[in-house]
Amino acid sequence: MRILAAALSVALLLPSVPAQAETDPAESVAEADPAAFVDPLIGSARDGNTWPGAVRPFGMISWSPTSTRGDQTSTGAANGYQYDVTRVRGFSLTHVNGAGCNPGAAGDIPIMPYAGTVDSSPTADTTDAKYASNFSHANEQAKPGRYTVALDNGVKTDLAVTTRAGVGEFSFPKDQAANLLFRTSNSLNGSEDAEITIDAAGRKVTGSVLTGAFCGRRANGGINNRKTYYRLHFTASFDQPIVANGTWKDAALTPGSTHTTGGEGYATGADRAGKGSGGYVTFQPGAKVRMRIGISYVSLAGAEQNLATEVRPEATVDRIAADGYRHWRNELKAVRITGGTDAQRTTFYTALYHSYLQPNIFNDVDGRYLGSDRQIHRLAPGQRAQYGTFSGWDQYRAHIQLLALLKPDIAGDFAQSMYQFAQQNNGIWDRWLHNNGPTHVMTGDPAAPTLATFAAMGVKNFDAANAYESLLHQATVQNADAENDGGCPGQCTGQRPALNTYLAKHYAPQDACHCWGGAAETLENSLADFSLGQWAQRLGKTEDAVTLKDRGTWWKNTFDPAIGYQRAKKADGTWLPGFTPSTGDGFAQGSSATYTWMVPQDVSGLAAAMNGTAVQRLDAFFHDENGNWAVRGGSALRYDPTNEPGLHAPWLYNGLGQPWKTQATTREIVDTVYGVGPSGLPGNDDLGTLSAWYVFAAIGLFPQTPGRAELLVGSPLFPKVELKRSNGVRLTVEAPETSDTNQYVQSLTLNGKPRTESWLPESFLTHGGHITTTLAATPSTWGTLPVDR
């Protein structure tokens, strides 16, 4: 007690320091090392479908655990890992972030460390009782570029990667044989064919898998559409001698064998269990095995070259992990935040991290890549990388805008990649590319708003003129290819199915060919055409611009004025009967209540169609009947933060003259729907789309509409955010008074000049600028006048 009193007396004699002058150590760390705030486990529960393994920004290889619920047909999650499934059957080399299907995509070549005697086929062990292992999250660590776990079977696994290769260190218990099982046929979706070769004297294992039935869709990945197939090649070498080896095929184990082939099919039920092939290598008990591994979608030679180029023979996990961590730190430093809590910084930088997982570099170090025609191609002149995987319907609503904002150079290479894949696919820009393969998943024409947005946001390094002409052709000329003629013979294979019908009727009939719903397709195409028209205007194609602008209003043709909602319409012009606002008939992964707001290109037109009730109806969309917030999802009548059609809806208030409601709504979502921990994402991350939405909302800006570069102003979460685009343009957003209560913009200056509009001009994004907002605890009239919208 006397010591405490003496200390207090001394403290009273010291000069006082204003609270705002104190330095938050965590804030200083965030500024110097934002990667320290990344938690790859965020979103690995509650259907977020993220995964925690080792990866570089936009990397080809992503080395992460594949979980099992106890049988070989159930992985526990769409991307191989689910937080509450603490049993591992291997560490796979490829992943897709947040895909919303099960089985998902990729998860190729699971490699399982096993301590004990291999005396039966791992494929025959259909309950995964022997060759899988439990683990505890207390023994697991995930950070950018590295993943480590101590399994209950006694093996510690430590993984780190470069862009196309990696190093794994496996420490085995001293009293049991040390084995690595290569489950070559066990991709998440199965395989048509796999092969493995073991060179014991050379301490080497090579092999490949032919796979690609995206999301378990036999129709998309099966015999009738081999374009979605890809073969992943790998080469692995070890620093310890191989003392035994063998292979298996289906239920038969062959000790001493050095080569085998065999797939397991693409079904997800009992007909897949017990099938497949692979091989194992055995080391001395207690071995600490360092494995170097490289992959390629081109060839085994490509995998060898990727490995030799990116991982030197003496490389260790520590060295590769340290380099990977620096890579992530440098990329994440493109956005520097000041202030906020530890939890807010963790949520923000992890969301930015997840936004950088896709698209994936798809070419080898020599510039070769597998085209959508399944032929080998080389990078175009000036192109730095070929990127694969595009979840178009999801990504074009937030993710591609964030990519263009922060990484316009990568966005340009991605645009060029998409164009080249389309050229190799008979001119068809597919809605959902898995790696190089068109899967035909979802609806609309998302490539059009994606590239139009890139062009608006200053992305230059792609063949814009020819890409535009190709997308215009897709939007105006019925594809005559037998597989993509719009006839919909059992599945939606055409990019714009029944285009001639759509052009004749100005809407997609529900009882004709469409993808998932005529009303949704009409809305998607209207927005795509609007964005193409904006691009045409930039290119000086006035006639195209006029035509496409008109087509951007065709959303009105599926808006039923009698009820004030979007509604599916039949080819004879009559409405589909039995309508309620919660219906999904005519829509894709959403209800009419959600899709009715999907008109960001014509907010004033939508308001007019609602006869002056738009604000009140939008209020009811975000609140329950008692006036409480309803932004967590669960009701088909209200906002769903887990899926994409309504992601822009919280920002519509800006266009309706009540921007303070945008500010309150987005802040409520940021504060309550997103967070730290495995359940920190509200739903499927969809290749970083939900994460990108959070990044924009936390900054306090959001893209106004696809095909344009204006940014809507919301409620900045942090006192200061500094963004450095990869083209050197700098943007700064300041909100010194921001707090849990100070959410409402009172005034704003742009480059020192007062601005009353609730949006920022294209020049802010393309040339750089500095905005300062004054925030307070009550709404203001800022941004409310018609001229300000």
DSSP 757-784: SSEE-HHHHHH-EEEEEEEESS--STT-
> What residues have CB less than 8 Å from 612, skipping those under 6 apart?
none
Partners of residue 244 on adjacent β-strands: 282
Which of 268, 266, 271 is closest to 219 using CA atoms? 266
pLDDT value at residue 5? 34
How far is the CA of 519 from the CAs of 205, 244, 647, in angstroms? 52, 61, 18
Helix, strand, coil content of the chain in percent (nearest 5): 30, 20, 45
Helix (H, G, I), strand (E, B) or coil at 467: helix
pLDDT value at residue 492? 61
CA 727 from centre of chain: 23
- Determine how β-strand 146-151 pairs with β-strand 178-182: unpaired
**Which residue in the block uniquely carries the two structure tokens 């009715």?**
596
> What residues have CB less than 8 Å from 628, skipping those under 6 apart?
none
Q: Residue 388 carries which side chain, given as an amino acid letter? A: G
DSSP assignment string, 190-243: -BSEEEEEEETTTTEEEEEEEE--GGG-HHHHSGGGGGG-EEEEEEEEESS---
Query: In the chain, where does the domain assigned CATH 1.20.1610.10 lie?
Result: 335-788
Q: Tokens at residue 549, please?
A: 């602008």
Partners of residue 234 on adjacent β-strands: 207, 295
pLDDT value at residue 514? 81
Q: Tokens at residue 714, please?
A: 């919301």
pLDDT value at residue 439? 85
Q: Exposed, middle or buried: residue 326 (CB in 10 Å: 0-12, 13-18, 19+)? A: middle
Which of 467, 433, 461 is closest to 448 using CA atoms? 467
Query: In the chain, where does the domain assigned CATH 2.70.98.10 lie?
Result: 52-330
pLDDT value at residue 483? 40
Q: Phi, psi at residue 448, to the nearest 5°? A: -65, -55
**Which residue in the block uniquely carries the two structure tokens 């003629």?**
485
Rounded-to-integer distance, Cα 449 and Cα 531, Å: 5
Residue 186 and residue 178 in contact, taking contact as beta carbons nearer than 8 Å: no
Rounded-to-integer distance, Cα 433 and Cα 438, Å: 5
Rounded-to-integer distance, Cα 119 and Cα 98, Å: 37
Tell me the per-residue pLDDT of 143-189, one tens digit each, with 9 for 90 and over: 999 999 999 999 999 999 999 999 999 999 999 999 999 999 999 88
pLDDT value at residue 214? 77
H or E segment and range at residue 88: strand 87-92
Which of 554, 550, 579 is closest to 564 using CA atoms? 579
Rg (CA), the chain: 27
Query: What does the angle CA 402 – CA 404 – CA 406 come to, to the nearest 5 degrees?
Result: 65
Give the chain's residues under pLDDT 70.
Answer: 1-30, 72-73, 75-76, 102-103, 216-227, 266-271, 480-494
Rounded-to-integer distance, Cα 611 and Cα 603, Å: 13
Which of 626, 622, 708, 601 is closest to 667 using CA atoms? 622
**Which residue in the block uniquely carries the two structure tokens 């004709």?**
512
**Which residue in the block uniquely carries the two structure tokens 């192109």?**
383
Partners of residue 336 on adjacent β-strands: 722
**Which residue in the block uniquely carries the two structure tokens 């993220």?**
50
**Which residue in the block uniquely carries the two structure tokens 């290479």?**
413
Tell me the per-residue pLDDT of 100-118, one tens digit each, with 9 for 90 and over: 876 678 999 999 999 999 9
Please give the model's pTM, rounded to 2 decimal places. 0.95
Neighbours of 87 (CB within 10 A): 17
Residue 89 and residue 128 in contact, taking contact as beta carbons nearer than 8 Å: yes
Neighbours of 333 (CB within 10 A): 16
Answer whether the bond into residue 359 is a cis peptide, omega within 30°: yes
pLDDT value at residue 73? 63
Residue 13 and residue 21 in contact, taking contact as beta carbons nearer than 8 Å: no
Residues present in the chain in total: 789
Q: Exposed, middle or buried: residue 540 (CB in 10 Å: 0-12, 13-18, 19+)? A: exposed
Q: Phi, psi at residue 665, to the nearest 5°? A: -70, -45
pLDDT value at residue 69? 80
Greatest extent of the chain over all pairs of C-alpha atoms, in Å: 91
How far is the CA of 592 from the CAs of 515, 565, 580, 595, in angstroms? 16, 7, 8, 5
Helix (H, G, I), strand (E, B) or coil at 657: coil
CA 724 from centre of chain: 22
**Which residue in the block uniquely carries the two structure tokens 């950070």?**
143
Helices 399-406 and 689-699: angle between axes, nearest 10 degrees: 60
Rounded-to-integer distance, Cα 3 and Cα 338, Å: 37
Residue 474 and residue 427 in contact, taking contact as beta carbons nearer than 8 Å: yes
Say yes or no: domain 52-330 is CATH 2.70.98.10: yes
- Contacts of 488-491 spanning 24+ positions with Cβ under 8 A: 488/513, 488/514, 490/219, 491/219, 491/220, 491/440
| CATH number for the domain whose boundaries are 335-788 | 1.20.1610.10
> What residues have CB less than 8 Å from 597, skipping those under 6 apart?
606, 618, 621, 646, 648, 649, 652
Which of 248, 241, 328, 244 is closest to 289 using CA atoms? 241
Which of 354, 398, 356 is closest to 666 using CA atoms? 398
